[in-house]
Amino acid sequence: MAIHKLPTRSEVPENLTWDLSTIFKNDSDFEAAVAALKQALPALEQYNQPFKTADQLVITIEQVLTLFRQLETVYVYASMKNDQDTTNTTYQGYQAQVDALAADVSAAAAFLEPAILEIPVDQLTDWQTNEPALKSYQHFIQTITDSREHVLSGQEEALIAAAGDIFGAASQTFSVLDNSDIQFPDVVDETGQTHQLSNGLYSQLLQSTDRQVRQDVFEALYSTYDQFKNTFATTLATEIKGHNYLAQVHHYDSARQAALAPKAIPESVYTTLVDQVNQHLPLLHRYVKLRQKQLALPQLHMYDLYTPLLGKPALSYTYPQAQTTAREALAVLGPEYTPIVDQIFDQRQIDVVENKGKRSGAYSGGAYDTNPFILLNWQDDLNNLYTLVHETGHSVHSYLTRHNQPYVYGDYPIFVAEIASTTNENLLTEYLLKTQKDPKVQAYLLNYYLDGFKGTVFRQTQFAEFEHYIHDAAANGTPLTADFMSTYYADLNARYYGDAVAKDPQIALEWARIPHFYMNYYVYQYATGFAAATTLADQITTNQPGALDNYLTYLKNGSASYPIETMQKAGVDMTNADYLERAFDVFEQRLDQLEALLADM
């Protein structure tokens, strides 16, 4: 039997590689740009003084932004060169260089925000009123001054910054324990082969069609976490204490308020999400019961939730076929959007196939002054088609933002980033459901969507609910012991999945293995983003008046306004429940369709 060997980087056909010479013609030009940036850094020190005039403030902001703009370009070139072949020592060196340079630029520019906060409020208001050049920086300045009452003295902030490694130690310890030190037992797959279990293999084997394999890996994984549950409880409790402490000393009411405030996200966005998901849990219970019926099981266990309901359909896409399908699916986004897709696809802005040493996974990258680029590791399947439209969504978002906003607003926050990419996924699902006539393929696509919704909206909100509960408990003096967290998590999980799923005692320990609990109110954004994307795609495909224009306005907005205002421009008000209710309507419609198809099969 022939062994498939990965090509080396030099063996990959040029048309399947990205063209980074559009950033720098060659490595020498990159090295010259790095040298010039290093040389320019010391000159920034002359601006590190109290602001006396509006003109002085404008010039300083422009100097700082110019350095970051130059840094972005060299950083993107180095990191992408390194990602295309991580075995190349030249590009390893480039990556190390720009990492160090990024730290140097950040340190050199660190004076700017404190200096702006030292300007008396009346003085700053007067400057913004009377200095035209400051108007374009109004929102940028607002993002700094909005935190004025939560910023401590320079000396106090310096002390906290110096303790950054200490505040990060719990997360780092969790990562080392979870990824390196913990040793899982051997397990046997459906072919009879023995493997040492890992977190990655666990996710894979939980999809096995052999129920005994699923049960064995589930029990093996959690028996291992059970041995270390008190250590994991200690790392998580320490992390949560850190969040609460930093919120308290910066005069916030809670860690959640502190986490959401920098992007002006009202806490009601979080509570509305949790409330709406809880109101719609009967839909999840119904979907889980459909799984139980389809798998013909007397009762589901937690290890039955990921095995495919249906065998994989005969859907295979070569890369050119995937491009054609993606163009057709995204055509609904109109004549302003689709030429950008064509440019990305046709002008070597995608690094397509796997090669030795290439970074795994997929991403969209680039800088303000470069094209958007996409890294893929292509396989001829449906998942990769979805990945292509997902990353294209990010890249077109970046393109439209950079071509419609000045550099200061030429990026976008995480809260809105995933909405553009996930909207594309929803548009692809809608397109495939219309064009694929085979009931088995349609059922597979519907299940694919419903599983994505379950994993992103329901599951991430479950995590968000747990995260807020333990922050509150710790703030009120409750020790976050393993038993305390496990008891709550078991009850929470039972509420989310309902009576169709057995109350497996092992799942009570799931909190111990979730890295996002160390990311301080981060996971809720997955759920809000997926729900917003579902709503936007529905508005676009049903030709709602103004839907497409509103969507393009959002894509062009960058960070020129706070995320909630940006999404209001898109036609989604995330401060009320309407967008969530609409997303659940789409979920229910597709669940109805799947139930009907399965009944006829």
Give the active site residues: 391
Q: Which segments of 250-313 does DSSP mark as H helices, in order?
A: 255-260, 267-279, 281-295
369-392 exposure pattern, b = at least 16 Cβ within 10 A, e = fewer? ebbbbbbbbbeeebebbbbbbbbb
Per residue, the 3-state secondary structure of 12-56, as one string, reads CCHHHCCCHHHCCCCHHHHHHHHHHHHHHHHHHHHHCCCCCCHHH
* CB < 8 Å & 24+ apart, contacts of 138-147: 139/409, 139/559, 139/560, 139/561, 140/61, 140/408, 140/409, 141/116, 143/262, 143/562, 144/113, 144/116, 144/117, 145/116, 145/117, 145/121, 146/261, 146/264, 147/261, 147/262
CA distance linking residue 160 with residue 293, whole number of Å: 55
Per residue, the 3-state secondary structure of 150-190, as one string, reads HCCCHHHHHHHHHCHHHHCHHHHHHHHHHHHHCCCCEEECC
Give SS3 for 111. coil
Amino acid at site 457: V
| Close Cβ partners of 106 (under 8 Å, ≥ 6 residues apart) | none
**Residue entry with tokens 């920098």:** 262
CA distance linking residue 556 with residue 554, whole number of Å: 5
Query: Contact at 8 Å (CB) between 225 and 217?
Result: no
Question: Is residue 464 exposed (0-12), middle (13-18) or buried (19+ Cβ within 10 Å)?
Answer: buried
Question: Is residue 263 exposed (0-12), middle (13-18) or buried (19+ Cβ within 10 Å)?
Answer: middle
Q: Give the HSE-up count for residue 196: Cα atoms under 13 Å, Cβ half-sphere.
A: 3
The token duo for 192 is: 């009879």
Nearest to 394 by CA among 431, 350, 360, 352: 350
Q: How far is CA 425 from CA 384, 449, 533, 564, in A?
A: 11, 9, 9, 22
Crossing angle of helices 229-249/482-497, nearest 10°? 90
Query: Contact at 8 Å (CB) between 27 and 89?
Result: no
Tell me the residue length of the chain: 601
Query: Contact at 8 Å (CB) between 501 and 302?
Result: yes
